[in-house]
Structure 1
């Protein structure tokens, strides 16, 4: 009898840092800068020396890029000083900008939207071609790139997810990280509902059957409470990796004799 495997991730040793403070040029319907407010900034980095890795994020500038390339020397200095691993958000950088950040990057978390209509509706800009162009460049330059797909990005409705998966079929990738839309206070979509749990499970199954030899991960961004408990329970046996597992999920995996492994920083590592 083959034993089922599950990898659990508890985010203890990674801290998110915004390179732009709480500034973002965009006013996306699902976020409205909300997630930037709780992030550390570059001036706090010496206080993070107990972390093993940093998620370098931030708001977008008017070219829809996270301007990591402006901070490379400083970031390199801290990387050498504290032995940090860096996971980067890039936005839609061009080839030469990506080259500048190559030697500080240990992983890239790259959000993909499956069609132009969803991008226009949620982000308010048409950078669809730029997004895939940056993704191509990341692959071609040999970055450790981890595509992220937000299920229900468009106000909890499924509108782009299968399109994104179908496009990814043509790429050599080792993992897809799925996030799940969280209605966020102060955003345009704050009164919408998360996608139905069965719809999220359906997207995972669609990916599993359409892209082989790729790990499927439930990332850290998914609704809390009963929703999280039920979703994680249903994804046991489908997902290869679950971030921030609740006790019920851990207990169930033990009861079902899963082979459980653990890690304690951002799931891209």
Structure 2
């Protein structure tokens, strides 16, 4: 029987170690998604089985995880940790590996997007190098944003090829959604069929890998359509699937496994 994991990650709380501050203010986010995260202090008083440790980036594209290691180690005593760290050098990767159960890493090989969307004076080699460092010391799951350039799909296919050649076994995909108050607020998500084509390409590239459709994607009819297509494509997991997609998976004779934590964990 075909199997699929459906994630409802209520038991994983998201923590921003920088509050609402972010030095990059990328065109698709502008720190918007930090606002709903709790602080480290609040996390210490929260009864959760796991935490996503994230935050805003500095001008080098790093989330300053190492500055908060003592507090993070305290959380580690009571819960599993998924750390979203941004770019790293090898020493930083090694330190993060000592506390992380998993690492989420935003992966791209699109130099134009790195410069124009992220506003970073970096290149694809910096992302590849950071990913390699993290893999040496922990279990890292690369995340690919479909439609990174304000809804335009460009180098996502190349990112998948690079990850395949590096021996990656798990990729999480998210999809661009216009966000109020950002430079990309008036843009449109990539077409549903085009986004599905990226997932289909990844499925063929990693036939035995674990592919998830992550929590960040447009809502409404778009979400229901892409979720159903993801079922047809054969992704291994969907985060917060629409009821219609769950029903469709049942109709297609999938064995559905319900999980209550972050898809990376």
TM over 0.5: yes
Determine the C-alpha separation between the residues in 2 that align with 1:16 and 1:212. Answer: 31
CA contact (8 A) 1:114 1:165 kept: no
Q: Counterparts in 2 of 1:1-269, with a 5 A limit?
A: 3-49=1-47, 51-80=48-77, 83-128=78-123, 129-141=125-137, 143-238=138-233, 239-269=235-265
TM-score, normalised to structure 2, is: 0.96
Helix, strand or coil at the partner of 2:23: coil
Determine the C-alpha separation between the residues in 1 that align with 2:7 and 2:236. Answer: 11
CA contact (8 A) 1:19 1:56 kept: yes
CA contact (8 A) 2:97 2:134 kept: no
Segments of 5+ residues of structure 1 without an aligned counterpart are none
Q: Runs ≥4 in structure 1, deviation > 3 angstroms?
A: none
RMSD of aligned residue pairs (Cα, Å): 1.2
How far is the alpha carbon of 1:186 from its aligned partner?
Answer: 0.5
Segments of 5+ residues of structure 2 without an aligned counterpart are none
Q: When the two structures are aligned, how many residues end up with a matched partner?
A: 263
TM-score, normalised to structure 1, is: 0.94
